[in-house]
Structures are given as structure tokens and as C-alpha cells.
Structure 1
Amino acid sequence: MGIRYYAYAFDGNLTGQALADPLSFLSDDPLADAWGFDRGVTIATPTFKQTVPRRDMLYLDKAWRQLECLTAPAEPGLIARRAHRMFEGSVDMNGMGWEPWVRTLTPPDVLAVAGDLEHISDKDVELRLRELRFFGQDFDDEFGIVVNYLRQARTFTANLAAEGRGMVYMIG
């Protein structure tokens, strides 16, 4: 199925709990939440309509990798964008698959990320993607996918910041 990105929001008053036990804020079946099928089923027909409200969950599919590279330092020794904290991470591979990467972003972290995402233009995305080709697909397709997910991330974090909420994300 591949490695995907899922983020779940939490209310600001739960920040201590989210830092202490981030896994308690993640779904036991995030792909079901993202693709719209019943949890725990082995065979299902997805609706591709997210079952968790968009204010509470962000699904970036596999495009998180491009967003991670987009916000990472362009050259060694440079500092990453603030938004990089939202996309940074890699799974730990093992003989049976992988262990996911999980991170908590506090409400102040989300505020910083949201502000930075507002400053990433479509032109920034285009320039960076021309340097970094991932899927070998048509550039316009890849660009459209990444910009779409960037806009979703921008909306998600702006809404969280406005409500004083944080988020826990998982890459896995």
C-alpha cells in the first residue's frame, strides 16, 4: 500500500497528553478514515470521501515526501523552513515492514507552520519540483498533485491555528 501521511488535530488543552502519548490521538485505521471505508475490514470498496471531518484530519497520501523536500533546506548547512516540521520524518524499516514516524506539533508550532505555509507560492513549488522528480510522471500532473495537497495543508493548519489547536501526524 505504501507509506502515507495522516494528521489528526487535538484541542489546545490536550497538548500535554498529545506530547506524552501522541499515539492516543491517531486512529487505529487512518486509511479507512481517509478513503471512506469501515475500519478493520479486509475487503472494501472505498468511497474516497474522508470519514473524519476535514477540520480534524489531514490526509496527504504519498505527496508528503515532495512537501518534505519542498520545505527542507535547498542546500546542506541551510536552515529548514518552519513548515518543514509538519512534513519531516521517515519510517524505520525492518524485516516485516516499517515502524511509523510520529510527531506532535503544539498549538504554537502549528501557528508557526501555518504562517510559513502562507509564504510558499505555486512558483516556489514549481521551481523545487523541477529539481526533484519523484514519480517520473508528467510534470504538470505531479505539480498539480503537490499544489493541491499544499493548499489542503495550508487550510488545515490555518484553521487549527485560528482555533488554538495542535496536531499529531504519522508517516507510515
Structure 2
Amino acid sequence: MGIRYYAYAFDAELAQQAINDPHSILSSDPLADAWGLEPHARSSVAVFEQVPPRCDMLYLDKAWSALQALTRPGPGGLASESAYRMFEGNVTMHGLGWEPWVRVILPEEVPGIRDQLREVDEKRIDDWARAWRSPHGATDEEERRYVLHYLERAREFVESLAAEGRGMVYLIG
């Protein structure tokens, strides 16, 4: 199935709860939420429509690693790490499984992320696409379209969070 990215919004008054227990903000079955499956069912039919409203959940499929590379600070990267914090992280592998990466983004951090995501323009994406090699075997143009699609979804989600003064908890796993 692969490692995927899921983010859930929370209202500002739940910030301390998110810090204390990020899993209390996350769904118990994020893939079911993303694909329109019956939660925790052994067998279910996917409708491939996200269940929670787009302003409450962001699903980035497997594009998170490409978005990490695109927003990574440093030479040729963004000037600071605000946007990168939204995609940073990786699972911890062990035996036949992994521990997911979970991070809380507080409401006050969201405007900086929003502003940096706005700065990612076509030139930066084209420069990134020339250097990126998809781990999934996609062509450069297929990968570019895939990443652009999910970058736009991330921008819309963060714009909504910023407008409403909300934060988010994300899980890579």
C-alpha cells in the first residue's frame, strides 16, 4: 500500500489537546477517510471520495516525499523552513512495519507556511522536477502533474486553515 500523508485540522481552542495528544485529533482510520471506505472494515468498497470536508482533512497520497524535496530549505531551496515543516518527517522502520511520523502545526505557524507555499512558482517546480527522480517509476511529466495536483490541494488546505485561525496535525504512515 505504501506510506501516505494525512492531515486533520483543529480549532485554536484545541491546540493544547493537539500538543498533549496529537492522535486525539487524527482519525483512527485515515485511509478510510481519504478513500471513502467503511472505517476499520476488513473488506469495503472504495468510492475514492474523501469523507471529511476538504477544509478538515488533507490527503496527499504518496506525494509527501516529493513535496518535502520541493520545500526543503537550503541551497536552491526555500529561504526558511516554514513550508517544509508541513511535509517534514518519515516513518521509523522496524521489522515488518513502521512507526508513523506525527507532527502538530499550531495555528500561529500556519500563515508562514501559507506564505511560503504561495512562493512556490512554476520555475521552482520545473527546477525541482529536473533533479527529482520518482521512486514510483513515473515519468518526469507524470510526476510533475502529480505533485502539482497535491501542491494545490496543500495550498487550498493551508489557505483555509489560515483564514479560520486553525492548526493541523499530520501523519506520515
**TM-score category by the smaller chain?**
over 0.9
Q: Structure 1 stretch 131-140 or stretch 63-72: which is displaced more?
A: 131-140
Alignment of 1:19-58 (within 5 A): 19-58=19-58
Write the letter of the residue equivalent to 2:140. Answer: F
Q: Structure 1 stretch 142-151 or stretch 128-137: which is displaced more?
A: 128-137
Take 1:20 and 1:40, find their aligned partners in 2: how far apart are those partners?
25
**Residue number in structure 2 paired with 1:137:** 138
Alignment deviations for residues 46-103 of structure 1 (CA, whole Å, 9 cap, x no partner): 1110001111000000000000010113549x96531000000010101130000000
**Gapped regions of structure 1 (runs ≥ 5):** none
Take 2:17 and 2:147, find their aligned partners in 1: how far apart are those partners?
32
**Gapped regions of structure 2 (runs ≥ 5):** none
Residue 122 of structure 1: how far off its partner (Å):
2.4
Take 1:73 and 1:67, find their aligned partners in 2: how far apart are those partners?
12
RMSD: 1.5
Alignment of 1:1-172 (within 5 A): 1-75=1-75, 80-134=80-134, 135-172=136-173
Write the letter of the residue equivalent to 2:157. Answer: F
User: How many residues matched?
Assistant: 171
Q: Percent identity?
A: 51
Write the letter of the residue equivalent to 2:10. Answer: F
Where do 4+ consecutive residues of structure 1 move more than 4 Å?
none
TM-score normalized by the length of structure 2: 0.94
